[in-house]
Amino acid sequence: MATFVLIHGAWHGAWCWEKVERELVAAGHKVVSLDLPSHGEDDTPAHEVTLETYARAVADTVRAQAEPVVLVGHSMGGIVISAAAEMVADRIERLIYVAAFLPRDGESLLALEERNPRVSVPPALVIEEGAPTATLKPEKIAELFYNDMPDHEAEAAKAKLVPQPLAPLATPLKLTQERFGRLPKAYIECTVDNAISIELQRDMISKSNVDKVETLAASHSPFLSMPHETARALMRVI
C-alpha cells in the first residue's frame, strides 16, 4: 500500500481532500494532507508566503513519512509539488497532477495560464491595491470550480476559501532532469474544467514526460464532485 501526500490548490485547504482521503484510507492506504502556508487553518501571514515557503512545507511533510510517497497536487498544487520534488526527489515514488498546472523548467503558473485558450480565472480575480493576495468575484466561483456540484455543496465549499497569496503564482520554477525530471508522473485530466481548460491540460501533458493519464468527466474539483472516481483514478495510476 502507498503513502499519499495530497496538496490543494489556490484559495483552498486540506479540507478539500477529505472525501478522497476517506476512500483511500478505506482501501488500505496512508494519507497525509496539509494546509499550505496561509491556507486553511495555517496562520502564516500572506506577505511571508513564497513558492519556496510552499515547497519547503511540502518537502518537510514528505521527509516525515516512513517511506517514499505518492505526491499529489491539484491546480496550483501542481506547481508546488514540482518545486518540492526538486528538494526531496529521493523521497517521492510518483508525482500525480489532478487538473493541475504541470510546469517545465523556467515556467511559472502565470506563464502557463497565458497558454490557456479559454481564459477564465484572471478576469475573476479581485486584487486590492497594495495587497499581497487575491480573492475571486463571488458570483464566478461556482462556475469556475464547482460547475458539476449541487448549489448547496458549492456554497459550502465557497465559504471555506481564503485569500490567495500572489507571490507564488509569478515565480518561475527551477527544475532539473536529475531530480524532478527523473520522477514518474501521472495526470488526471478533467474534461469539464472551467478553470484550467482541457485543452491546456492536454497541452501540458504533451510537453512533459507523463506516463499515465486518467480522464474524468469532472469539473475543476473532482475531489468534491466525484471523490470515489478520483480516489480510484489515483489508485490506478500507482
Residue pLDDT, tens place only, 8-17: 999 999 999 9
Is residue 131 over pLDDT 90? no
How large a percentage of the chain has pLDDT more than 70? 100
Contact between 185 and 211 under an 8 Å Cβ cutoff? The reply is: yes
pLDDT in tens, 201-223: 999 999 999 999 999 999 999 99
Q: Give me the pLDDT at residue 73, please.
A: 99
CA distance 6 to 46: 21
Domains and CATH numbers, the chain: 3-236 (3.40.50.1820)
Number of separate helices (H) and strands (E) present in the chain: 10, 9
What confidence score (pLDDT) does residue 120 get?
94
> pLDDT band at 130, cuts 50/70/90?
confident
Strand order across the beta sheet in which 164-165 lies: 125-127, 133-136, 164-165
Amino acid identity, residue 66?
A: A
Banded model confidence at residue 236, pLDDT cuts 50, 70, 90? very high
CB atoms within 10 A of CB 19: 16
Grid cell at residue 71: 505526491
Mean pLDDT (whole number) for 73-79: 98
Q: What is the identity of the amino acid at 127?
A: I
148-198: per-residue pLDDT in tens? 999 999 999 999 999 999 999 999 999 999 999 999 999 999 999 999 999
Average pLDDT, the chain: 97
HEC assignment per residue over 145-211? HCCCCCHHHHHHHHCCCCCEECHHHHCCCCCCCCCHHHCCEEEEEECCCCCCCHHHHHHHHHCCCEE
In which band, very low, low, confident or very high, does the pLDDT at 129 lie, cut at 50, 70 and 90?
A: confident
Q: How far apart are CA 128 and CA 140, in angstroms?
A: 17
Rounded Cα gap, residues 92 and 59, in angstroms: 10
